[in-house]
Amino acid sequence: QVQLVESGGGSVQHGGSLRLSCATPPWTGGVFCMGWFRQAPGKEREGVAAIDTGPGRPYYTDSVKGRFTISLNNPKNTVYLQMNSLKPDDHAMYYCAAEPDYCYSGSWSRADEYRYWGQGTQVTVSS
Amino acid at 40: A
Pairwise CA distance, residues 43 & 20, whole Å: 21
Q: What is the pLDDT of residue 94?
A: 98
Other beta carbons within 10 Å of 42: 5
pLDDT profile of the chain (127 residues), mean per 10: 92 98 85 96 96 91 98 89 97 97 96 96 96
Identify the pLDDT of residue 92: 98
Question: From CA 73, how far away is CA 109, in angstroms rounded?
Answer: 21
Which residues fall within 8 angstroms of residue 66, CB to CB, at 6 or more apart? none
Among the listed residues 23, 125, 126, the one whose alpha carbon sits nearest the alpha carbon of residue 83 = 125
